[in-house]
Structure 1
Amino acid sequence: MHSPHEDTERCVRTVQSKDARFDGWFFTAVLTTGIYCRPSCPVVPPKPKNMRFYPSAAAAQQAGFRACKRCRPDASPGSPMWNERADLVARTMRLIADGVVDRDGVSGLARRLGYSVRQIQRQVQAELGAGPLALARAQRAQTARVLIETTAVPLGEVAFAAGFASVRTFNETVREIFHRTPTELRLRANRGQRSSGGGWLNLRLPFRAPLCPDNLFGHLIATAVPGVEEWRDGAYRRTLRLPHGHGVVELRPMPEHVDCRLRLSDLRDLATAISRCRWLLDLDADPVAVDDQLADDPLLAPLVRKHPGRRVPRTVDPAEFAVRAVLGQQVSTAAARTLAARLVLAHGEPVEDPDGGLTHLFPDAGTLATLDPEALAMPRTRRTTLTTLIGALAGGELELGVGSDWVRAREQLTGLPGLGPWTIETIAMRSLGDPDAFIPTDLGVKRAAEGLGLPGNAALVKHARAWQPWRAYAVQYLWATGDHPINSIPH
């Protein structure tokens, strides 16, 4: 598979047209100025002979270029390739974004993926022009910039919160990448931006337009577990279980970005929290590519034209969602929320939320593994399904994280009792993030197919081959034809 930066002619045209759709796909370095930019940088495009193209910000940084102060290329949406693919490089990139290299080093990353350090470094270097350490360093620099510019946290604390081993390395890296010292960055930011207050970090999460927030936020709100999630004052709020502590996040859809407010018990979790929120809202998707293909189907085209840019709502905790998917088998949305809320009250870890009504973290698999199955108010067969799933998650036999192998995860889920195609594909869609997950047996999908004149059952699966690899997005468009709370944001 060729990376976009390898097509020089196309890259030049993209930069000259300032096409924001390709922000994050590649980066443009300018030989005469020594800076690198995103394709949509507002400055006058350089002459083509002075442009060089890199597949990652880290590669541009390694080549000696510093980030543009106008377009802030380090804050681009992530490449959609890491969401569309399930190969080693894509899984590696998702884990780096989740902070695995900062926490466990490249050797820990290799263990998670089941490959040698050398194999991972070779493949990542070949495709991204930089190894895992350089990519993690670029992410640390961006995290540092966010903390420098949006908080009053002392710079010495920022260094360690962003993942740097020393204040000296922090200072050198920031100066090298942004061509300003941390102090200069903060002074400049304080002139033009608001600073976070009250323990909250105020951020903007960029995305590729268009984005249709209705089904994205509507789904999260309609299925929200009381105590863990809520809709308050125009924002979806939830608690977060993070590697070094916990957090509360508020996500509010805006026309050109998603407003994100984070309160963290440990600032070292900032990069991971941002990554998980972006994953939850599918913000690194390429909606134009998805919609163009789905609109080729004349029966789907009117739905795509009406509300383009639908995303697949995912999860901040893949194991949590898998448990909730089993709780939701053969019951209504309301009943599933009630069952989950009981688990949370009985086994969740309490948290404080002075600004809202959140009370607990969703219990992790280790905690749930200790519960008494008889206390679960559900049929015995589904109880067995749930306890077996929890046991597999707690014991490490089942891996559903962002770095999971989608094929292997499906095989493992298939081997558990009581997990049929609907549950497995729902977990594949929401926990694993497979853009091609498909649930033709879902009642909402079947009703939508019938209403649109699409065939049913096996014929629908055959018809849907033309939607690959975007069948999970087709499901969002099909669900949107029904009159259900998941399709709209409360006002």
Structure 2
Amino acid sequence: MHDDFDRCYRAVQSKDARFDGWFVIAVLSTGIYCRPSCPARTPLARNVRFYPTAAAAQRAGFRSCKRCRPDASPGSPEWNIRGDVVARAMRLIADGTVDRTGVTGLADRLGYTTRQVERLLQAEVGAGPLALARAQRAQTARMLIETTALPFGDVAFAAGFSSIRQFNDTVREVFDLTPSGLRQRTANRTEMPTGAAGTLTLRLAVRQPFAFEGLFGHLAATAVPGCEEVRDGTFRRSLRLPSGAGIVSLTPSPDHVRCSLQLEDFRDLPVAIARCRRLLDLDADPEAVDAVLRADEALRPLVLKAPGQRIPRAVDEHEMAIRAVLGQQISTQRARNLAGRLAADYGRPVADVSGGLTHVFPAVSELLDIDPQRLAMPGARKQAVQGLVTAIDAGQVVLDAGADWDAARTQLLAVAGVGPWTAEIIAMRGLGDPDAFPATDLGTRAAARRLGLPDDPRGLSAHSSRWRPWRSYVTQYLWTALDHPVNQWPPKEAA
């Protein structure tokens, strides 16, 4: 989009927040870059340049605006709706892959050479993997400086910098302030308060409209005992992160989500934030989705009633895949109990002084020696769970932030006991494919029947072609037509 100068400039003139995250505007006369909705006076057209990412603007020598804080805007929805190599790379970089394994590790995950990955990213987003990771580290550093009392040495370490000097130089270059100056400038801010000791509280930006009731209602209705809970209007869950465990509390509002994180290791902060945004589908573009779906007369009433639906996704692709298999052909409550038993038996314990969370959902490596007797389900489904765990561990099924959606479906369907419904649910909720469509889902078919749509899988699949590439969102809208706990927020038992 950044290549369309006239369209971008009109968005800047109208201060349209819907375009925040799609691109940044760099002002030649001031040397700064801003989000499109920056309240500052619109610069003359001849003095601006548009860049696809903050990293590209930084690479061109521009500094971040101190007023609109463009790095804190929602992420570009483009990376969530595309399945090509660049989009997969951007999702992996957001998940911290470059910081953990370097550019070589990123290239290996994508199946390309480092030179190819560098070339593709430079061509499309104006910056390579290292520059993109650096921009992410700078934003993490800013967040910690502004919202915690951590010593700057700890901030540098947590943000992923290799030295204090690199941290100081980057902060000064990107924000035109020293770390101490940045903290002093934001000392009186109240919109991003610090929580209790060891807890970081921040606001997760979201594009509006935001129909959070359907999203949080679904997460509440499917919450795994011991790993997830609802308490005082807040969805809480444990997290398994690269350097340790964590607990997140998410409280929705129409224009943001309040996020409180307790982390064993602050180095996990950027990964935890990225995964929480992914869980809540916060980088979606609801205007684009709803514009397509409103065109269908059958769907229009649902869209107009609660616009801005989001997909209830996952913080861990492997966890969602295992839970999808556990939930085959049984009630939501029964699936929750099975997953809770698995977590209690094999998951790592966590200390939750503020609630009732007891375990982190187990990693695949912790389930390799699972006792089939602990799985109170038919033998075929037990074999499906064990087969999926083995296939993931062996690399025969690849499910991560940068997974190829079509390849993942093929790999999943090769596992005995994994059928189309399971593969589509995993693609939709685990991998974030916006066009996944579980046409055999009983709830989807019941809602379709209520709306006068075809309710047989073949007919519904054929009809669904008009909804591409947003069929995952159609599924969420259809579920909102049902009288089911997934549509209750806060849940009745917690109301």
Could you state the TM-score of these two structures normalised by the residue count of structure 2?
Answer: 0.98
Residue matched to 2:329: 330
Measure the CA separation in 1 of the matches of 2:173 and 2:133. Answer: 15
Query: Root-mean-square deviation (CA), in Å?
Result: 0.8
Q: Which amino acid aligns with 1:140?
A: R
Residue matched to 2:14: 17
Residue matched to 1:254: 253
Measure the CA separation in 2 of the matches of 1:156 and 1:198. Answer: 18
Measure the CA separation in 2 of the matches of 1:375 and 1:356. Answer: 26
Q: Which amino acid aligns with 1:118?
A: R
2:117 to 109, 120, 134: 120
Measure the CA separation in 1 of the matches of 2:127 and 2:298. Answer: 44
Measure the CA separation in 1 of the matches of 2:234 and 2:335. Answer: 22
Q: How does 1:479-490 map to 2 (within 5 A)?
A: 479-490=479-490
Question: SS of the residue aligned with 2:424?
Answer: helix
Residue matched to 1:414: 413
Residue matched to 2:2: 5
Measure the CA separation in 1 of the matches of 2:419 and 2:316. Answer: 21
Residue matched to 1:474: 474
Preserved contact between residue 149 and residue 195 of structure 1 (Cα < 8 Å): no
Preserved contact between residue 235 and residue 252 of structure 1 (Cα < 8 Å): yes
1:80 to 67, 73, 77: 77
Residue matched to 1:141: 138
Q: Which amino acid aligns with 2:37?
A: S
1:176 to 152, 173, 177: 173
Residue matched to 1:51: 48
Measure the CA separation in 2 of the matches of 1:166 and 1:207. Answer: 33
Residue matched to 2:36: 39
Measure the CA separation in 2 of the matches of 1:233 and 1:196. Answer: 16
Deviation at 1:396, TM superposition (A): 2.4
Measure the CA separation in 2 of the matches of 1:321 and 1:386. Answer: 12
Preserved contact between residue 428 and residue 434 of structure 2 (Cα < 8 Å): yes
Question: SS of the residue aligned with 1:210?
Answer: coil
Give deviations 1:301-347, integer Å, cap 9, x for gaps.
11101100000010001101111111101111111111111111111
Measure the CA separation in 2 of the matches of 1:322 and 1:472. Answer: 16
Deviation at 1:263, TM superposition (A): 0.4
Preserved contact between residue 211 and residue 254 of structure 2 (Cα < 8 Å): no
| Gap regions ≥5 residues in structure 2 | none
Deviation at 1:234, TM superposition (A): 1.1
Deviation at 1:17, TM superposition (A): 0.5
1:96 corresponds to 2:93: yes
Measure the CA separation in 1 of the matches of 2:484 and 2:40. Answer: 45
Deviation at 1:85, TM superposition (A): 0.4
Deviation at 1:233, TM superposition (A): 1.1
Residue matched to 1:64: 61
Measure the CA separation in 1 of the matches of 2:123 and 2:106. Answer: 18
Q: How does 1:136-215 map to 2 (within 5 A)?
A: 136-193=133-190, 194-215=193-214
Q: Which amino acid aligns with 1:262?
A: L
| Gap regions ≥5 residues in structure 1 | none
Q: Which amino acid aligns with 2:184?
A: L
Q: Which amino acid aligns with 1:203?
A: L
What is the number of residues matched between the two proteins? 488
Q: How does 1:234-383 map to 2 (within 5 A)?
A: 234-383=233-382
Give deviations 1:341-395, integer Å, cap 9, x for gaps.
1111111110101011101001111111111223321111111111000111222
Residue matched to 1:28: 25
Measure the CA separation in 1 of the matches of 2:419 and 2:273. Answer: 33
Please identify, of 134-143 and 386-395, the stretch whose mean Cα deviation from structure 2 is larger. Answer: 386-395
Preserved contact between residue 151 and residue 197 of structure 1 (Cα < 8 Å): no
Question: SS of the residue aligned with 1:249?
Answer: strand
Residue matched to 1:111: 108
Measure the CA separation in 2 of the matches of 1:441 and 1:258. Answer: 33
Deviation at 1:15, TM superposition (A): 0.3
Q: Which amino acid aligns with 1:332?
A: S
Q: Which amino acid aligns with 1:81?
A: E
Measure the CA separation in 2 of the matches of 1:453 and 1:50. Answer: 54
Deviation at 1:192, TM superposition (A): 2.3
Measure the CA separation in 1 of the matches of 2:300 and 2:272. Answer: 35
Work out the percentage of aligned pairs sharing the same amino acid: 61
Preserved contact between residue 448 and residue 455 of structure 2 (Cα < 8 Å): yes
Measure the CA separation in 1 of the matches of 2:124 and 2:180. Answer: 35
Deviation at 1:195, TM superposition (A): 3.1
Please identify, of 89-98 and 446-455, the stretch whose mean Cα deviation from structure 2 is larger. Answer: 446-455
Question: SS of the residue aligned with 1:250?
Answer: strand
Q: Which amino acid aligns with 2:133?
A: A
Measure the CA separation in 2 of the matches of 1:129 and 1:344. Answer: 43
Deviation at 1:56, TM superposition (A): 0.5
Deviation at 1:188, TM superposition (A): 1.4
Give deviations 1:9-58, integer Å, cap 9, x for gaps.
11110100011111010100001111100000011111111111001100
Q: Which amino acid aligns with 1:126?
A: A
